[in-house]
Amino acid sequence: MIRFVARRCLQSIPLLVVVSALVFVLIHAAPGGPLAVYLANPNVRPEDIERLRRALGLDRPLWQQYGAWLWAFVRGDWGYSFSDGRPVVVRIVERIPATLELVGASLSCAIVLAMPAGVLAAVRRGRWVDRLATLLSMAGISLPAFWFGLLLQLIFAVTLGWLPSSGRATPGGGDFADHLRHLLLPTAVLAIVLASGWSRYLRGSMIDILSLPFIVASRARGVPASRVVLRHALRNALGPLIAIVTVDAALLVSGAVVTESVFAWPGLGSLFTEALARRDYTVLMALLMLSSTAVVAFNVAADLVHALIDPRVTAS
């Protein structure tokens, strides 16, 4: 297994280098740049723009900028943010706890929602439980996250006043219950959207597996129904779901951009939005590399988990 992980890591290095080059070129090709924000200010003169361009190293050819960035990046020097001058590492690290909190809660809740919904819908295929699960999951998939978030805000924060509309905690502190209250709405949005999709995948996998001969044989041998469903069918149906969950998790780790924006959640998604608006190249590059690395790492993790669940699959 260690050899498998090591091999996958080595294989991902050239991939990440290619991704970094592509991302670097794409970011710089986007209209505007880190200095665009100054252009609207009449007091910032062309001489100032040129001075700032030199100070940020933007006057060098693009390949030189990329080479310098890559060399520094691999040595652990992620540079300084173009917008606030602080080390990029500091800006990212301070946002990670909020993202992990939101992602962890959302993934957990989504799994808790998706598993029974998918299993029940498959077991009770065509009945009202299935139809209800289908209706709710289609609604969850169709709802735009920003609209759904605002709707929950209006109901639970503005109308009922039960929950805060945004933020991670009450400024100045907040106990566990305060954190939980702030976490509820953004978690609900992400979890419902994720669970809606996952439950459909699980339902499909379960229906396929429940019709296979070994399930029919198990039932004929008198194995209890719950054991057939949970131990034999569900275990086999989890493979495709694990692959999807890990991809979604990797994307969420790099930031649930829309949800974080609606709920003013101070995670990596908000940082990405800010950096994109300011064309903060150093922060954007670091975030995108983090995202790419997370996708690779989670895929490796998915393979390992799949191997643990399904003995037919081996990590090697």
Which 99-118 positions form the footprint of another protein (CB under 8 A)?
A: 109, 112-113, 115-116
Residues 286-315 that bind another protein (CB under 8 A): none
- Report, in Å, the least distance between residue 90 CB and another protein: 9
- Report, in Å, the least distance between residue 141 CB and another protein: 20
N- to C-terminal Cα separation, the chain = 6
Residues 140-199 that bind another protein (CB under 8 A): 146, 150, 153-154, 157-158, 161-168, 170-172, 177-178, 180-182, 184
User: Which C-beta is closer to another protein: that of 59 or that of 94?
Assistant: 94
Asked if 77 interacts with another protein (CB under 8 A), we say no
Residues 6+ apart with CB under 8 A from 186: 102, 106, 149, 256, 259, 260, 262, 263, 265
Q: Are 119 and 234 in contact (CB under 8 A)?
A: yes
Write the single-letter amino acid at 104. Answer: G
| Of the residues 2, 10, 14, 43, which one makes contact with another protein according to CB under 8 A | 43
Residues 6+ apart with CB under 8 A from 167: 182, 263, 264, 265, 266
Distance of CA 222 to the CA centre of its chain: 43
User: Which C-beta is closer to another protein: that of 43 or that of 316?
Assistant: 43
| Of the residues 242, 247, 274, 304, which one makes contact with another protein according to CB under 8 A | 274
Rounded distance between C-alpha atoms, residue 183 and residue 196, angstroms: 20
Residues 209-238 that bind another protein (CB under 8 A): 224-226, 228-230
| Of the residues 6, 15, 26, 55, which one makes contact with another protein according to CB under 8 A | 55
DSSP 172-200: T---HHHHHHHHHHHHHHHHHHHHHHHHH
| Of the residues 7, 17, 26, 32, which one makes contact with another protein according to CB under 8 A | 32
